[in-house]
């Protein structure tokens, strides 16, 4: 980046002079899609970025998440794509599969009136079959995580030779997660003539170097946001393990005095699943998501307004424009990844001067999201505890009393039953209080009225290896990466087992990268992790002993620091030889044949052929005549 780059300072919310989307240069099908979703005026970063990208210039956008940057790069791309060319013309790289899916959904929403346009998300954890068949049919836009994009490049299933637009979304997060090498590898496989947009919340030295090398005369756009929440809304947060969220939610609903509730989740499937679980627990709940027809959506919202329905489980998109006066509580069952959706969500309550309550569930590994939201909104959430058994029983007894009081107000019906009860007491010689208790049993059914006290938790073993947080709120892992006494003889705690990964100290791996990769790609929760021990050439991580096969399948192609992790149960023996061992001598290993037979001395490992011919092996399965274990690649483009 040069010293004469233009820095544009903009603030949100917009002033009345903010231009329209048409003023920015957008037209036709894109404008119709924006009208459909209710976008009237562009956000600060959209107003500053869209015209620049439409002109063909490279852009470095410095903006926090939640400022509308997805539309800032998606709309100009859609406005200029050639739908007759079925090869990938645009590539968007995102640090996580969740963000990749969000970006893909945004593209689909903005392309609603471009029926011939095809968009494909590619990320780890999803089978290759769907992605390969879509790539064969032809796609215009690919949105993916760096690891899976590199896998497709290595397999030859993704051709970027015709790429015109490249977006690096949340570039600083990609670097923090160890994707720097992967991103540069992808950049080296793209044409020299292309437009690049890089978006980052901060401008660390690594991002500046990347922009100088791969962007051409970029315009730097800096956007500051003012995201505020209503003072009428009480904001609370509960730190809870993912597996206990349903239990926590039902406990809270038991003790809170609520009218209507909107519960926000991240995915369409989660809306149906959670609504069904709530109905099974006796709550009047329904789901709305993007797949529900408009007629059904309107019917459900009307039921919520009338009181026939108490709880709505929704996604952000489905809840857009929802304004129901009786909403007293908003629950972030899945905390949003951006501050702006958080503000929009909790704004569904506390309207028109009324008070409201917002409760957010945060798993231990989502504390960073919580901190980001609090920093952006400049408002701290009040920590809350899970309601105790005594509090729940007190609430149940109070509701039972209310039911009795309501019944006693029905004088005519009560009068008719008095003679029946008196007849039973005379003929069975039973006290009236016992008859009343028996009728309560009939009314209650099989479900107990009061909750049983929870069993005392088992005492923790002293010195147990575990994940914790230090007194400054940072993640702390009990691991052997600092030297000192070897603790490899410690046994995993009950229900856990030790697994081995083929990345270690010399690959500069950090515990956070291991947790992030296994959680993102394998679908593991933070509570699934125990001790993490990073050794020289490998790492050990404590995970559930009965890890399902589909988790191994999702992690089969997962990389950390550019290396396949090859997750497997640790047998306690010597670590097997690393694939990138370059010492030569002995025979190579043929993974496809499952043997080390007959491929000659002095050979390294060639995954594609199972033989070497003087070749080394790189961590993506390619040989090199240079014998240094690296795959030969064409020179990188951009500035030197």
Q: What is the pLDDT of residues 196-217, one digit of tens each?
A: 999 988 888 888 888 888 999 9
- pTM of this structure: 0.44
- Nearest Cα residue to 320 out of 299, 347, 359, 338: 347
Specify the pLDDT at position 262: 95
Q: What is the pLDDT of residues 491-508, one digit of tens each?
A: 666 778 899 999 988 888
- Nearest Cα residue to 367 out of 268, 270, 468: 468
Specify the pLDDT at position 465: 39
CATH assignment, 7-225: 3.40.50.300
Q: Predicted confidence band at 141 (pLDDT cuts at 50, 70, 90)? A: very high
- CA-CA distance, 319 to 348, in Å (whole number)? 9
Is the model's pLDDT at 578 over the cut of 80?
A: no
End-to-end CA distance of the chain: 12
The mean pLDDT value for 220-249 works out to: 83
Phi, psi values for residue 398, rounded to 5°: -65, -45
Distant-in-sequence, close-in-space partners of 388: CB < 8 Å, separation ≥ 6: none
CB 629 within 8 A of CB 580: yes
Q: Predicted confidence band at 454 (pLDDT cuts at 50, 70, 90)? A: low
Alpha-carbon 496 to chain mean position: 25
- CA-CA distance, 637 to 640, in Å (whole number)? 8
The mean pLDDT value for 512-540 works out to: 84
Is the model's pLDDT at 566 over the cut of 60?
A: yes
CATH assignment, 233-387: 3.40.50.300
Is the model's pLDDT at 490 over the cut of 80?
A: no
Phi, psi values for residue 113, rounded to 5°: -105, 20
CB 223 within 8 A of CB 44: yes
Q: Predicted confidence band at 352 (pLDDT cuts at 50, 70, 90)? A: low
Least-confidence region, from 360-364, 372-376, 447-451, 608-612 = 608-612
Which residue ranges make up each domain of the chain?
Answer: 7-225, 233-387, 390-444, 468-569
- CA-CA distance, 60 to 8, in Å (whole number)? 11
Specify the pLDDT at position 480: 39
The mean pLDDT value for 395-411 works out to: 83
Least-confidence region, from 7-11, 82-86, 212-216, 573-577 = 7-11
- CA-CA distance, 358 to 347, in Å (whole number)? 9
> Which comes out higher in pLDDT, residue 561 or 526?
561
The mean pLDDT value for 144-153 works out to: 93
Q: What is the pLDDT of residues 57-68, one digit of tens each?
A: 999 998 866 578
The SS3 assignment for 80 reads helix
- CA-CA distance, 125 to 96, in Å (whole number)? 11
Q: Predicted confidence band at 613 (pLDDT cuts at 50, 70, 90)? A: very low
Q: Predicted confidence band at 463 (pLDDT cuts at 50, 70, 90)? A: very low
Phi, psi values for residue 494, rounded to 5°: -55, 135
The SS3 assignment for 237 reads strand
The mean pLDDT value for 160-177 works out to: 91
Is the model's pLDDT at 98 over the cut of 80?
A: no
- CA-CA distance, 590 to 609, in Å (whole number)? 8
The mean pLDDT value for 328-337 works out to: 92
CB 616 within 8 A of CB 624: yes
The mean pLDDT value for 146-164 works out to: 93
**Fold identical between 7-225 and 468-569?**
no
Is the model's pLDDT at 241 over the cut of 60?
A: yes
The SS3 assignment for 309 reads coil
Measured over the CA atoms of residue 504, residue 507, residue 509 and residue 513, the dihedral's sign is negative
- Nearest Cα residue to 46 out of 65, 24, 22: 24
Q: Predicted confidence band at 456 (pLDDT cuts at 50, 70, 90)? A: low
- Ordered DSSP codes for 244-270: GHHHHHHHHHHHS--SEEEEE-SSHHH
Q: Predicted confidence band at 264 (pLDDT cuts at 50, 70, 90)? A: very high
Q: For the chain, give the mean pLDDT.
A: 78
How far CA 131 is from CA of 138, 215, 380, 457, in Å, comes to: 11, 29, 42, 46
CATH class (in words) of the domain with range 468-569: alpha beta
Helix 146-155 × helix 128-137 angle, to 10°:
60
Distant-in-sequence, close-in-space partners of 532: CB < 8 Å, separation ≥ 6: 467, 477, 478, 479, 511, 514, 515, 539, 540, 541, 542
> Which comes out higher in pLDDT, residue 618 or 308?
308
Q: What is the pLDDT of residues 355-399, one digit of tens each?
A: 899 999 999 888 888 988 888 888 899 999 988 888 888 888 887
């Amino acid at each position: 980046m040069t010293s004469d780059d233009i820095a544009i300072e903009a603030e949100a919310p917009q002033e009345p002079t903010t231009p329209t989307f048409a003023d920015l240069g957008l037209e036709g099908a894109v404008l119709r899609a924006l009208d459909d979703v209710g976008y009237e005026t562009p956000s600060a970063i959209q107003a500053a970025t869209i015209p620049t990208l439409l002109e063909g210039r490279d852009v470095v956008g410095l903006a926090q998440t939640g400022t509308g940057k997805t539309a800032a790069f998606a709309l100009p791309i859609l406005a200029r794509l050639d739908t007759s060319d079925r090869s990938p013309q645009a590539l968007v790289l995102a640090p996580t599969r969740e963000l990749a899916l969000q970006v893909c959904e945004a593209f689909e929403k903005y392309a609603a009136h471009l029926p011939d346009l095809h968009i494909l998300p590619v990320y780890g954890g999803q089978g290759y079959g769907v992605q390969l068949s879509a790539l064969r049919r032809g796609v215009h836009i690919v949105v993916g995580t760096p690891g899976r994009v590199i896998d497709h490049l290595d397999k030859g299933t993704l051709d970027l030779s015709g790429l015109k637009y490249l977006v690096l979304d949340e570039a600083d997060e990609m670097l923090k997660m160890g994707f720097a090498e992967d991103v540069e590898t992808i950049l080296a496989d793209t044409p020299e003539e292309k437009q690049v947009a890089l978006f980052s919340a901060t401008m660390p030295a690594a991002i500046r170097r990347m922009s100088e090398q791969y962007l051409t005369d970029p315009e730097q756009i800096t956007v500051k946001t003012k995201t505020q929440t209503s003072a009428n809304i009480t904001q609370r947060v509960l730190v809870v393990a993912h597996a206990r969220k349903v239990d926590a939610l039902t406990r809270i609903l038991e003790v809170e005095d609520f009218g209507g509730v909107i519960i926000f989740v991240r995915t369409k499937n989660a809306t149906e699943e959670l609504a069904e679980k709530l109905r099974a627990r006796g709550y009047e709940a329904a789901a709305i998501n993007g797949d529900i027809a408009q007629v059904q959506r309107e019917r459900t919202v009307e039921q919520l307004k009338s009181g026939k329905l108490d709880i709505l489980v929704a996604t952000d998109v489905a809840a857009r424009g929802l304004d129901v006066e009786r909403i007293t509580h908003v629950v972030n069952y899945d905390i949003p990844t951006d501050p702006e959706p958080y503000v929009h969500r909790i704004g569904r309550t506390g309207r028109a001067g009324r008070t409201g309550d917002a409760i957010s569930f945060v798993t231990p590994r989502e504390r960073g999201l919580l901190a980001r939201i609090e920093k952006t909104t400049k408002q701290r959430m009040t920590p809350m505890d899970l309601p105790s058994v005594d509090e729940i029983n007190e609430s149940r007894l109070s509701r039972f009393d209310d039911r009795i009081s309501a019944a006693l107000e029905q004088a005519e019906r009560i009068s008719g039953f008095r003679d029946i009860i008196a007849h039973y007491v005379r003929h069975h010689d039973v006290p009236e209080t016992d008859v009343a208790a028996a009728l309560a049993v009939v009314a209650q059914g099989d479900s107990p009225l009061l909750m049983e006290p929870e069993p005392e938790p088992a005492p923790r073993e002293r010195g147990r290896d575990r994940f914790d947080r230090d007194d400054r709120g940072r993640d702390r892992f009990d691991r052997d990466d600092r030297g000192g006494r070897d603790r490899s003889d410690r046994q995993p705690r009950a229900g856990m087992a030790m697994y081995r990964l083929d990345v270690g100290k010399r690959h500069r791996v950090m515990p956070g990268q291991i947790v992030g990769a296994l959680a993102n790609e394998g679908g593991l929760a933070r509570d699934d992790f125990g001790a993490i021990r990073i050794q020289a050439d490998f790492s050990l991580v404590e995970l559930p002993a009965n890890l399902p096969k589909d988790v191994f399948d999702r992690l089969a192609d997962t990389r950390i620091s550019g290396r396949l992790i090859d997750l497997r149960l640790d047998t306690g023996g010597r670590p097997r030889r690393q694939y990138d061992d370059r010492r030569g001598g002995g025979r190579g290993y043929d993974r496809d044949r499952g043997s080390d037979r007959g491929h000659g001395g002095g050979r390294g490992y060639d995954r594609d052929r199972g033989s070497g011919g003087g070749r080394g092996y790189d961590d993506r399965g390619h040989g090199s005549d240079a014998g240094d274990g690296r795959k030969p690649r064409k020179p990188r483009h951009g500035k030197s």
